[in-house]
Amino acid sequence: MSTRRSFLTSAALAAPALLPAQSPNDAVRVAVIGVGNRGSYLLRHVLNVPGIRIVALCDLDAERLAAAEKAATDKGHKPRTYEDFRKMLDEGKDIDAVIIATPVDTHKMVAIAALEVGKNVYCEKPMAVKPEDVRLMVNAAHSAKGIFQAGFQLRHDPNRHAAMEFIHGGGIGKVLYMHGTRHTGDLPRKTAWYFDRTRSGDNIVEQACHILDLFVWAAGKPPLRAFGTGGINLYKDEPPGRTTMDNYSVIYEFPNDVRVNFSHIYFDPAGFSGIKERVWGEKGAMDLAAATWMELGKKGELKLEVADAGNDSTYQSLAAFIDNARNKRKPLNNADSARLSTLVAMMGRKSIYEKRIVTWEEMDV
């Protein structure tokens, strides 16, 4: 008998539905603020979402702005371009939804400004650099007319979405333990703010929050305490002035004696260890990224049946955002869930920096 079997699950495993085609008069009018590395990637994906019209683009870099304008124009859109996001918002009475992909230390300023003028907002992860700014963003989202969706797009990845629904449905029994690794090469050296922890929040906040978000989602609540250690072992002053870590490890203790062990390094040889997100339960263990699990005491890998398998998580997340904006639905990756996951990352950072156990009460501002 084959060791790989198809494991049929309920319809709830389906990834969020894509939008139906819309008439031009029903289009959601979208603006993108920040069209650099991540922002240009978001723009390429949202251009493929049915029922949208790109009406404005904003960036401080004229070359990037011109490239983004060309990408939108080539797809039949006619966006206005701006260097000043506030001017864009002042003039943008026709803007329904704003996608924000600026450096982390500007998220609060840009997102709150967009929410205050009634726009639907998709803001890249993490929410902010400091816990107090996270609270200000959540407050703004709660009082806004538009919806707020955070860029924790792995929640919309078809495999991970199916795996999480299976876990929440009791498929592996009570969750006992979780383990994650984000082992890669270093970040692009041309993006200077990545390496300035006052701007990015350091790698555990700016990068690892995606994986930590999955573990918080699996646990259903934030951890009680965290202890971590880390530093710069290889890339000292590379690039010059670097203040972000190139390796660290954190252990989180959740309620019900559930622990998460997470490590993150930037000098991993290609293909050596990579990115893993795994959850162990009473009945077996789940690989979130692969949507496969193994039953305790049995041999053979069980594969979940995954709707929309292979679809890109960023596209799925943006398609869900447009649908949520059109129908005023609360997003899966909303302000409250984004708050928890951003603070969990900051909790680990605080423990690493201060070399002590940090409790959730210290972060829950």
Pairing outcome for strands 175-183 and 275-281:
antiparallel
Helix (H, G, I), strand (E, B) or coil at 93: coil
Burial class, 311, CB count within 10 angstroms (exposed 0-12 / middle 13-18 / buried 19+): middle
Backbone φ and ψ of 79, nearest 5° = -75, 145
Q: Distance from CA of residue 256 to its chain's centroid?
A: 26
Whether this model's pTM surpasses 0.85: yes
pLDDT, residue 5, reads 36
User: What radius of gyration do the chain's Cα atoms show?
Assistant: 21
pLDDT, residue 6, reads 37
**Neighbour tally for 359: CB within 10 Å:** 14
DSSP secondary structure of 7-74: E---GGGSPPPPPPP--GGGPEEEEEE--SHHHHHHHHHHTTSTTEEEEEEE-S-HHHHHHHHHHHHH
Helix (H, G, I), strand (E, B) or coil at 324: helix
Burial class, 81, CB count within 10 angstroms (exposed 0-12 / middle 13-18 / buried 19+): middle
How far, in Å, are 185, 231, 253, 267, 288 from residue 199 at the CA level?
21, 17, 28, 22, 30
Query: Residue-wise pLDDT tens for the chain (365 aa)?
Result: 333 333 333 333 333 333 333 334 589 999 999 999 999 999 999 999 999 999 999 999 999 999 999 999 999 999 999 999 999 999 999 999 999 999 999 999 999 999 999 999 999 999 999 999 999 999 999 999 999 999 999 999 999 999 999 999 999 999 999 999 999 999 999 999 999 999 999 999 999 999 999 999 999 999 999 999 999 999 999 999 999 999 999 999 999 999 999 999 999 999 999 999 999 999 999 999 999 999 999 999 999 999 989 999 999 999 999 999 999 999 999 999 999 999 999 999 999 999 999 999 999 98
Backbone φ and ψ of 178, nearest 5° = -140, 150
pLDDT, residue 272, reads 96
Q: Assess contact for 86 and 104: CB atoms under 8 A.
A: no
pLDDT, residue 26, reads 84
Which domains can be identified in the chain, with CATH numbers?
A: 17-153 (3.40.50.720), 155-310+331-363 (3.30.360.10)
Euclidean distance between CA atoms 207 and 311, whole angstroms: 22
**Neighbour tally for 221: CB within 10 Å:** 12
| Amino acid letter for position 56 | A
pLDDT, residue 25, reads 53
Q: Choose among 315, 278, 346, 341: nearest CA to 122.
A: 315
Q: Distance from CA of residue 84 to its chain's centroid?
A: 25
